[in-house]
Amino acid sequence: MFWVGGRWMASFDERKNYDITTRIHSMMCQFMKRKSSRSLQSCAGVSFGTKVCRNQASRLNLQAYSFNLILVPLSRRLLLQAAGIAAGSLVAPKLLSGRAKAAEAIAPTLNTSLDACTPPGDPIKALLERNMKFSKVWQALGDGVSPRERMALKVSMFEEGCQIDRLALAEGQRPWAALISCADARVAPEWIFSAGSGELFQVRVAGNSAFDDGIASLEYAVAVLEVPLILVLGHSGCGAVKAAMSTAPLTPLLEDLVKPIRSSLKSSDDLTQAIEGNARYAAGQLTKRSAVLKEAEASGKVLIKSAFFDIKSGEVSLLN
Ligand SMILES: [Zn+2]
């Protein structure tokens, strides 16, 4: 599998695109605004579990709503209920008309801004190159380094970096890679891959397992945001994997957390082998448990890989 024209296998239709949630939010608010003499700030009162379309802060709710729209199309009635719009409105057919039409309405300048940090080539290669930059700085940050030198080293990690315009980020997101990584404080993807806001879509949980809500989040990343890569990142000294290997008693919730890790363990594993096996297992679970991700991988829309992060060296290596 290789990276061509912004997609794996070149089979993905134009990535020109957009954040559909922003588009839907805009359409709904514009409609409601027309329906009412009230301002956009008050185009609310819509019940869908929580209120939607109240103002900018409501966008998150709309994102969850539009996610349903993409993956599990809502009935017209439910859609109208969700929008607080009377049956007979023309809004529902517009909303259901598909991503292609929705994409047309996004300003090209917005897309350009959101893509400002997207690497032009293979995203895996880009992640590893960014990590190489990080690991060099990480290794240089020893005890003998003065605070001034330390600051200079940290700045050097980002000095050639880009910055996505904050106003564009306020309107949408177009991350170029997604990760499942551990909740461990030493394993922050933006740090490890020298990345800024809006670049990496992240699911984090102790032990980097593929849990239901995490998989659902990745379905959103792939189906809606068109992220072309999912990387499951295990790391050295992972406490969750240690707990899974131990017979020490855990709380009921922690028992649940380590269950998938235990499923990946082999009796002969040492800690590093167990961590690597767990990352591979979690990557395999994504397509096993999600039809959306399975189809996306089969059609070349997304590549799913696993990797190991060594905290001491700061280096990330891909797993087979
Ligand atoms: Zn961990």
Domain segments of the chain as ranges: 20-105, 112-319
pLDDT 10s per residue in the chain (320 long)?
555 555 554 333 333 333 444 444 444 444 444 444 333 333 332 223 333 333 333 333 334 334 433 433 333 333 333 333 233 232 233 322 333 343 444 577 787 889 999 999 999 999 999 999 999 999 998 878 888 888 888 888 777 678 899 999 999 999 999 999 999 999 999 999 999 999 999 999 999 999 999 999 999 999 999 999 999 999 999 999 999 999 999 999 999 999 999 999 999 999 999 999 999 999 999 999 999 999 999 999 999 999 999 999 999 999 98
Query: Residue 175 pairs with which residues in a beta bridge?
Result: none
Residue 2 CA, ligand 1 centroid: distance in Å: 30
Name the CATH architecture for the domain at 112-319. 3-Layer(aba) Sandwich (3.40)
The Cα–Cα gap between 231 and 208 comes to: 11
pTM confidence score = 0.70
| Residue 181 buriedness (CB in 10 A; 0-12 / 13-18 / 19+) | buried
Query: Residue 229 pairs with which residues in a beta bridge?
Result: 303
Residue 44 CA, ligand 1 centroid: distance in Å: 42
Ion ligand 1: residues, CB < 5 A: 182, 184, 238, 240
For residue 7, the SS3 value is strand
The Cα–Cα gap between 203 and 182 comes to: 8
Residue 229 CA, ligand 1 centroid: distance in Å: 21
Residue 188 CA, ligand 1 centroid: distance in Å: 11
Residue 318 CA, ligand 1 centroid: distance in Å: 17
Residue 94 CA, ligand 1 centroid: distance in Å: 45
Residue 239 CA, ligand 1 centroid: distance in Å: 5
Query: Residue 179 pairs with which residues in a beta bridge?
Result: 202, 231
